[in-house]
Every structure is written in C-alpha cells, then in structure tokens.
Amino acid sequence: MDLREIKEAYSEFNRKLADIKIKIKYDELTIQLKAFEKEFNAEGFWDDPDKAQKKFKRINSRKALVEEYNRLFLNIESGLEIIELLQSDFDQETFTELEKEFEQLKVEFDSFKIKTIFTGKNDESNAIMTIKPGAGGTEAQDWALMLLRMYTRWAEKKGIKVETLEFTPGDEAGIKISTIQIEMPHAFGYLKGETGIHRLVRISPFDSNSRRHTSFASVYVIPEADDDIAIDLQDKDLRIDTFHASGPGGQSVNTSDSAVRITHIPTNIVATCQVERSQQKNKSIAMRLLKARLYEHFLRLKEEEDAKDQAEKKDISWGHQIRSYVFQPYTMIKDLRTSIETGNINAVMDGGIDLFIEGYLSYISTK
C-alpha cells in the first residue's frame, strides 16, 4: 500500500468508529461506569458477595468495551497525524513503521467490531446450552454427544468455565439430552447463533453394512437468568419428582433417588438434574435451570420473537437445519445461513468453530 491508500483506510476506520460510538451508546456507557464507581465504593456493596461479583463482571465487560474504543480512537488519531507529517516530509523508516501499525490496527478493529454486535438485552449473560438428538436413533444420540464435545472443547481452548447442569446418556451410545452452562463475558451473545438444527451425514459406526446415515440434533441456547430478575416461583406451581440417576451401570452407579425433576405446572416447562450425588445439589441446579428457561420463555412471549429463536420446538429433522456436517462421501461443514464452509472437519469437531460463530455475528450485523 502507498501513503494515499493507507490514509484512505485510516479515514474509513475513523468513520466506522464514529458509527460504532453511536451504536454502543458510548456516552451512556461512560455515565453508567461513573455511577458504578460510586456504587462499588458504597457501604454494603459486598454484603452479598455473589450478587456483587456478578454485577462487577457485567460492569467490567462494559468498561473493557469503552477502554478498547478509546484505545482504537487514539491509535487512529495518531496514525492520521503521522500520515499528515509524512505527506509534508516523507521518511521511509517512519512509513514502514506505520504500515506495521496499520496491519495490527486492522486485526484489533475487526475484533472490536465483533464485540460491538453485542447490543441485545441478554448478550452479556452466561449461556445455557441444551443439546438433544433428533431423528436417527442411536446414530443421532451419538451425534448429539459429538456436538457436546465440540462445544466443550471450544470452551476449554479459551479457558472458559463449563458446568454440566443436565446429562442423560443414550441407551447404547451418545446422549438423550445434555445441558451445560458456559461462563464468559458475552457468552450468550457469542453462542446464541448456535441455536438450531445441526445435520450430520456419515457412514454410521452402528451400521454393520457401513451405509451412509443422516442424523439430526438440536442446539438451544438461552441466557442465564440474572439474580436481579424477579421470577415468581410459587410452591403450588411446582411439581418436584426424584428418581434414580441413569447411567451406563457398573460399580459407581448411583442407586439412590438423587436425581431431581422440577416441572413448572402452568407452563409445563421442565428442568432436570442428575449430575450430582446429592439430591439437594441436584435440586439447586434444577431450580437454576428452570428459572433460566422460564425467564427466556416469558421474555420470548413479551417480545414476540421470531420463530427462528424457537428451534428446539421445531421438528428435529429436514428443513430446519442451520449447519450441515458432511463426513462422507466428501468432507465439508457449511453454515446454511452465511454460506461459510470448511473441509477441515477434524479441527471443527475439536472446537474450532470461531469461523462460524464470528461469521454469523458479522452476518447479522448487516441485517
């Protein structure tokens, strides 16, 4: 690139950053941060450590957004000043350094653009992800387990905490259902686009004739309900059942009635947990999961969200898939919304899904 082209690029960065400032409500965010500083230092703020810590994390994510905006703004202003100096007195060494800074700025700006997409009401929240097999029997249950591993590996590689809230193994292989909570800044914002039907085509390891099978599994992502949100859970509206935790058997099988299923009778929404040996712990996790599902349910009704956000309630079969994973006769994973595709199926199934996540976020930002 010559000096003229770099100047045009920096000027374009400046224009886009001005648009982003409006989009993220920069002035409003700075006022919120100043107000929080007073609240943080006020007496009694840490009386409820869990609640205070959650609020502190939310504010920190907003603070990071403001700080990153400020850093980019200063870097762009500095670059434009250097360009102006080079126009009047060109120096090759300075220009070479400017080129390096420009390449770094492009990377940082693209990363920042992704973060500014998170303007939804719950985008800052932790994510609760439920994976269920659909049409395809044992093959589909195995496919659901493969997806669970894919998302878990994605989180592990980023050092993100994953907590298992619900896990029911399949009859022969795989899972009947699994629910995990992913704790990271903007977890729901990043992962909400994974909601939908995921389709697999492969030669089935469960078919003695080695025929190709098509299987489906649903992924459904909701935000964790904030403690500040009041959800009225009256005892008369809840049915709590206990039962034996299911598993593959063996010496370590849990034979006590420790598994808990809580049904919210008015909505028939159910939350189940059997991952802990303690019935009390399972009940606590199930209540947390129920609260999140009820919050999402009532929010969806209130906001009259599109049917696309209710993928779990659609037929888990042909016609509703968001992504296709083909292992045979060729290798290709393709997002059917963005048309992003890759032939490196091993990397994707090992957690390399950022190209799809970020691609979808960029896609919806243009809508």
Cα–Cα distance for residue pair 102/240, rounded to 1 Å: 59
In this structure, what token pair is assigned to residue 249? 């058997």
CATH of 235-303, one of 3.40.50.620, 1.10.3720.10, 3.30.160.20, 1.10.760.10: 3.30.160.20
Q: Tens digits of per-residue pLDDT, 235-293?
A: 899 999 998 876 554 434 454 678 899 999 999 999 999 888 889 999 999 988 998 88
Type of residue found at 158: K
Cα–Cα distance for residue pair 269/296, rounded to 1 Å: 11
Name the CATH architecture for the domain at 3-115. Up-down Bundle (1.20)
Which of 244-248, 280-284, 295-299, 345-349 is predicted most confidently? 345-349
At 253 the pLDDT is 45
Q: Give the start-to-end residue ranges of the domains of the chain.
A: 3-115, 127-223+306-365, 235-303
Q: Tens digits of per-residue pLDDT, 150-185?
A: 999 999 999 999 999 999 999 889 999 999 999 988
What is the CATH class of 127-223+306-365? alpha beta
Task: Name the pTM for this structure.
Answer: 0.76
